[in-house]
């Protein structure tokens, strides 16, 4: 009787622990390590960081992850079994070119192999590119190619200025990832060519794939042709009718549900 009670208590505890145990979401700070020279001549890291509350940061998306029970971290070294240990979701955004960093850390085959093994074991990988003038695609595609994806050297949804927001509009309907959001804003996005099991999730008005998903082993890969969920486009600045804030919540929920480690 005591043993049965112990088993029941252990089972209930495991359920509770599973609910409260935060999944770790890691943002890459190695391939994207953009350097900005401040007014006083100091070189400062910026762009697409959890702690950056300016328009250039991911602080709002980070808060959405935390609101859904996740724990945030960053990875400032190359991806290895050790550096990815305990990570549930790994986000790589806009890898540097020499224009952005005089000594960029390009993605190498060994990096891609390490990440692919981690995904295969149940990790969730997010790849966010950019228009070809603002991202290093050649090496990024070494990694994307592991999953049947290729970021193209083009630009979809070109938006001239704030008077032309509609040029960046993407309508969403009956979508397995974006279930609440109905209209997203993605500007100056590169398209993605897909092979194998990879499937399109978002398309530009011209019909080009601009976001895609695929399963790889026990894991999942989500790729998009722009870092579109940074603060500037989820902080209420967009005109009424655009749902980037809801899209960020949709994607966050989807990613956390895919974790299979």
Q: What is the pLDDT of residues 10-21, one digit of tens each?
A: 333 333 334 436
The pLDDT score that the predictor gives to residue 16 is 37
The pLDDT score that the predictor gives to residue 60 is 98
The pLDDT score that the predictor gives to residue 242 is 97
Q: pTM, whole model, 2 decimals?
A: 0.90
**pLDDT per position as a tens digit, 205-247:** 999 999 999 999 999 999 999 999 999 999 999 999 999 999 9
Per-residue confidence in pLDDT tens, the chain, 261 aa: 433 433 333 333 333 334 436 899 999 999 999 887 778 888 888 899 999 999 999 999 999 999 999 999 999 999 999 999 999 999 999 999 988 888 999 999 999 999 999 999 999 999 999 988 889 999 999 999 999 999 999 999 999 999 999 999 999 999 999 999 999 999 999 999 999 999 999 999 999 999 999 999 999 999 999 999 999 999 999 999 999 999 999 999 999 999 987
User: Cα–Cα distance between 92 and 202 in angstroms, integer?
Assistant: 19
169-171/183-185 β-pairing: antiparallel
Place of tokens 């050790």: 82
The pLDDT score that the predictor gives to residue 13 is 33
46 contact partners, CB below 8 Å, separation of at least 6: 34, 35, 36, 52, 54, 56
User: Cα–Cα distance between 234 and 243 in angstroms, integer?
Assistant: 8
Q: Number of C-alpha atoms within 13 angstroms, CB side, residue 76?
A: 4
C-alpha distances out from residue 200 to 41, 191, 195, 207, 235, Å: 44, 11, 10, 10, 27
Q: What angle do CA 238, 239, 242 make, to 5 degrees?
A: 75
Radius of gyration of the chain from its Cα atoms, rounded to whole angstroms: 19
């Amino acid at each position: 009787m005591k043993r049965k009670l112990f088993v029941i208590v252990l089972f209930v505890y495991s359920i509770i622990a599973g609910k409260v145990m935060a999944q770790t979401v890691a943002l890459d700070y190695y391939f994207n390590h953009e350097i900005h020279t401040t007014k006083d001549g100091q070189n400062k890291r910026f762009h697409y960081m959890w702690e950056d509350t300016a328009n250039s940061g991911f602080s709002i998306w980070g808060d959405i992850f935390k609101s859904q029970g996740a724990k945030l971290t960053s990875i400032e070294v190359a991806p290895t079994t050790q550096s990815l240990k305990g990570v549930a979701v790994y986000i790589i955004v806009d890898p540097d070119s020499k224009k952005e960093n005089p000594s960029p850390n390009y993605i190498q085959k060994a990096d891609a192999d390490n990440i692919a093994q981690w995904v295969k074991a149940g990790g969730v990988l997010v790849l966010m590119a950019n228009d070809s003038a603002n991202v290093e695609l050649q090496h990024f595609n070494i990694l994307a190619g592991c999953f049947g994806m290729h970021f193209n050297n083009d630009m979809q949804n070109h938006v001239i200025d704030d008077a032309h927001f509609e040029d960046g509009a993407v309508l969403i309907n009956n979508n397995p990832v974006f279930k609440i959001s109905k209209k997203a804003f993605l500007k100056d996005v590169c398209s993605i060519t897909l092979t194998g099991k990879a499937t399109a999730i978002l398309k530009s008005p011209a019909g080009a794939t601009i976001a895609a998903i695929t399963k790889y082993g026990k894991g999942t890969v989500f790729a998009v042709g722009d870092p579109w969920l940074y603060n500037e486009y989820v902080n209420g600045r967009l005109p009424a009718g655009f749902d980037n804030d809801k899209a960020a919540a949709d994607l966050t929920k989807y990613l956390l549900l895919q974790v299979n480690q």
